């Protein structure tokens, strides 16, 4: 892993991004142009940047956890005032837009060598990873730069494409990537240790591509008039025959206990390279809703997602201003449930970007809705078991949990009409603190979990959490002729939820 780590952290030319906001799509104007670097050098950099885009503090996963009422704020910290007010403006989490284009997408673009069969496998990987990231962007913003994006030298002001059209093209791109892998030139290079995800196992890349396709299709599965399209595309996945991921999809270029070289989730919320607890971790804790949900269902994951203080689990309501209620100093850091050992494992933990639990529960939903054959109950239980195992629990503990006489936990006693809620609720638990942005998308689509509170600072101002983000101010200044009129972030849902 030391050799692979060299690729990531000894290539400053690749990590240079423009300092001016108007250059966020630029991949061709840096003095040390990354397109001159071979794909085997660019690949691990792009993968590492994907991990940081998703999992560093104040990025995608943080946003998801705060919007989904997973995380509260410890007494003595003023860490999340804008999030608890739902203060969605053109500066609110603009890193979710800008950083995607500046960092991972820009680097994956350098892998594209469609006219050079030597790099067929790298081109396919680029297509898969760009599809993965572009879906997240669509799900946050709707219409985004897509067909003209990442071409700064040719198109300084890229147009915005229709969100549903992008979704359909992502399916096309993923199919093309799978075909390119299956029919790669005999001279095509196969990634090795430079692939920080699958170590060059192209069969695993196909399974990952199918899993991304599954997520794209399931997200549209409640739309009117889309059943035929979804079924057609599901049939393509089934006919291809590789199936879906069989393990968590993680990125690990050789994380180690050095400054800027630790796994991003650990580095953001656990300890710095000197072994000192970081402030983000001290400031962040569970909410009462999450603690009650896990406690009331006898869910042992509670002690893995959140650490258990000496006096038992305690969550802090989002937006609480009087921390002396009900007891003075009740919510200090040593008394509340901060992030736990199943989430923060070690400085060298994999940065997981697609959880096996998520894949199984997506499959369960597809089967429930008739788009795939199979056993929805079995997939539901496999999803829960995968979540338990990721957090460091056992299959036996998972079996005990799912066999309780509790709706939304035990498939058999959950009424047929509530089984979608069971799937979405279990995805919400499985992705809590780990990939919670997906839970926000699920909530916008289904309304589950159905009893999810809103922040105390939003009560009386908003009826519910936002359903999309606003385009960043940098776009208004650098690409004013193409940025669409801003839809209301609280009422105008992304196309798949309307």
Where are the domains positioned within the chain?
Answer: 1-36+93-263+346-355+467-498
Residue the block writes with tokens 């809705």: 369
Q: What is the mean pLDDT of residues 313-330?
A: 94
Instruction: Name residues whose C-beta falls within 8 Å of residue 42's C-beta, 6 or more positions apart in sequence.
Output: 14, 34, 107, 108, 110, 111
Reported as a single tens digit per residue, the pLDDT across 331-350 is 999 999 999 999 999 999 99
Q: What is the mean pLDDT of the chain?
A: 93
Q: Residues with Cβ < 8 Å from 447, sequence gap 6 or more?
A: none
Q: Which residues make Cβ contacts (< 8 Å) with residue 423, sequence separation at least 6? A: 361, 364, 365, 368, 380, 383
Model pLDDT, residue 326 = 83
Q: Would you call 351 helix, strand, or coil by DSSP?
A: strand
Q: State the pTM of this model.
A: 0.94
**CATH fold for the domain made of 1-36+93-263+346-355+467-498:** 1.25.40
Rounded distance between C-alpha atoms, residue 209 and residue 215, angstroms: 10
CB-CB neighbours of 121 under 10 Å: 24
Q: 254-304 pLDDT, tens per residue?
A: 999 999 999 999 999 999 999 999 999 999 999 999 999 999 999 999 999
Report the number of secondary-structure helices (H) and strands (E) in the chain. Answer: 21, 6
pLDDT in tens, 167-205: 999 999 999 999 999 999 999 999 999 999 999 999 999
Distance CA 473, CA 463 (A): 26
pLDDT tens, residue by residue, 23-54: 322 333 343 344 467 899 999 999 999 999 99
């Amino acid at each position: 892993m030391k050799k692979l780590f060299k690729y990531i952290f000894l290539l400053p030319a690749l990590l240079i991004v423009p300092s001016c906001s108007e250059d966020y799509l630029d991949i061709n104007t840096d003095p040390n142009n990354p397109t001159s670097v071979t794909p085997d050098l660019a690949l691990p950099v792009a993968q590492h940047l994907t991990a940081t885009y998703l999992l560093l503090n104040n990025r995608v996963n943080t946003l998801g956890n705060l919007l989904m009422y997973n995380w509260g704020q410890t007494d003595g910290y003023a860490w999340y005032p804008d999030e608890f007010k739902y203060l969605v403006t053109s500066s609110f989490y603009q890193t979710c837009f800008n950083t995607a284009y500046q960092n991972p997408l820009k680097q994956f673009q350098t892998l594209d060598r469609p006219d050079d069969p030597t790099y067929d496998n790298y081109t396919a990987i680029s297509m898969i990873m760009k599809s993965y990231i572009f879906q997240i962007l669509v799900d946050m913003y709707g219409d985004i730069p897509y067909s003209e994006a990442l071409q700064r030298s040719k198109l300084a002001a890229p147009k915005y494409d229709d969100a549903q059209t992008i979704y359909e093209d992502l399916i096309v791109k993923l199919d093309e990537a799978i075909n390119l892998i299956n029919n790669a030139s005999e001279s095509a290079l196969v990634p090795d240790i430079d692939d920080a995800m699958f170590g060059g196992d192209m069969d695993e890349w196909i399974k990952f591509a199918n899993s991304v396709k599954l997520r794209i299709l399931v997200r549209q599965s409640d739309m009117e008039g889309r059943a035929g399209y979804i079924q057609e595309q599901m049939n393509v996945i089934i006919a291809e025959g590789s199936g879906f991921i069989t393990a968590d999809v993680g990125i690990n270029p050789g994380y180690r206990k050095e400054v800027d070289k630790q796994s991003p989730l650990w580095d953001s919320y656990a300890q710095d390279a000197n072994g000192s607890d970081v402030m983000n971790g001290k400031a962040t804790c569970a909410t009462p809703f999450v603690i009650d949900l896990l406690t009331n269902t006898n869910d042992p994951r509670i002690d893995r997602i959140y650490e258990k203080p000496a006096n038992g689990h305690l969550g802090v309501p989002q937006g609480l201003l009087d921390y002396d209620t009900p007891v003075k100093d009740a919510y200090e850091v040593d008394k509340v449930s901060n992030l736990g050992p199943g989430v923060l494992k070690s400085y060298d933990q994999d940065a997981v970007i697609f959880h096996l639990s998520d894949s199984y529960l997506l499959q369960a939903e597809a089967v429930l809705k008739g788009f795939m054959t199979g056993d929805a109950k079995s997939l539901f239980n496999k999803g829960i078991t995968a979540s338990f195992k990721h957090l460091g629990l056992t299959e036996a503990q998972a079996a005990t949990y799912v066999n309780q006489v509790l709706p939304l936990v035990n498939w058999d006693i959950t009424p047929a009409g509530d089984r979608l809620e069971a799937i979405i609720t279990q995805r919400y638990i499985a992705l809590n603190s780990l990939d919670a942005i997906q839970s926000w998308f699920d909530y916008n689509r289904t309304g589950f979990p159905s009893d999810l509170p809103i922040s105390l600072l939003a009560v009386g101002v908003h009826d519910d959490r936002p359903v999309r983000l606003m385009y960043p101010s940098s776009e208004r200044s650098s690409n004013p002729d193409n940025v669409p009129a801003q839809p209301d972030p609280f009422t105008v849902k992304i196309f798949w939820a309307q």
